[in-house]
A and B are shown apart, each in its own frame.
Chain A
Amino acid sequence: SQQGEEDPQALSIQEGENATMNCSYKTSINNLQWYRQNSGRGLVHLILIRSNEREKHSGRLRVTLDTSKKSSSLLITASRAADTASYFCATDEGAQKLVFGQGTRLTINP
């Protein structure tokens, strides 16, 4: 089943600007994670937010979670060319498996 849905599907901004990506999900969760995938590469874990947390920061990343709306956002501040990648949210669904959204393709223009 498709749990997370990212919005927008693609985002193109200028270097230095902030990038915001959103994720919605359907069922109750224990935690929500964001991953980055560079073209043709594997996934890199960025940040995890638990269901009892509302906001979390890690460097230039800021994640929010609204369990009442079943949504999360990932903000990347002061974007760099190296941030160009696809970003996925993932939620736990029972046991141990993760359910991923379709991803947001972020392009940072120099």
Chain B
Amino acid sequence: NAGVMQNPRHLVRRRGQEARLRCSPVKGHSHVYWYRQLPEEGLKFMVYLQKENIIDESGMPKERFSAEFPKEGPSILRIQQVVRGDSAAYFCASSPGQERALGYTFGSGTRLTVV
């Protein structure tokens, strides 16, 4: 029973390139969350998705960032035209969604470095 799988673990992109981060939730979990962690800081909520729907994207930057959770396949966090300030660790979590903010399982994260 695998946990949340994120790939890649490390991603290096040059400024202006696109970054695609993947998250496969725990089997049976239909709720996915993305968080960003800057160095020496806590995690900041970005977006909450259920299958094929964005429920809450209040933490997503208005431009260049998008997320999806298709009916089949992993959730994708996409960052277009990356800038140095996008360098951070991006964590995905999933939950069965039966009770508020409970049953979270976090992945190991993708560490994005923009050079």
Cβ contact of B42, chosen from A33, A41, A92, A103, cutoff 8 A: A103
What bracket does the count of chain A residues touching chain B fall in?
20 to 34
Given the contacts A31-B101, A42-B108, A97 and B43 also touching, CB distance less than 8 Å: no
Segment 74-107 of B: residues with Cβ below 8 Å from A: 91, 95, 97, 100-102, 104-107
Whether the Cβ atoms of B44 and A41 lie closer than 8 Å is: no
CA distance A102 to B41 in the complex (A): 5
Tally of A-B Cβ pairs under 8 angstroms: 67
Given the contacts A97-B48, A99-B45, A42 and B102 also touching, CB distance less than 8 Å: no
Cβ contact of A42, chosen from B91, B95, B97, B100, cutoff 8 A: B91
Given the contacts A42-B106, A42-B107, A96 and B97 also touching, CB distance less than 8 Å: yes
- Chain B residues in the interface with A (C-beta under 8 A): 31, 33, 35, 41-45, 48, 55-56, 59, 91, 95, 97, 100-102, 104-109, 111
- Chain A residues in the interface with B (C-beta under 8 A): 4, 30-31, 33, 35, 40-45, 48, 88, 90, 92, 94-103
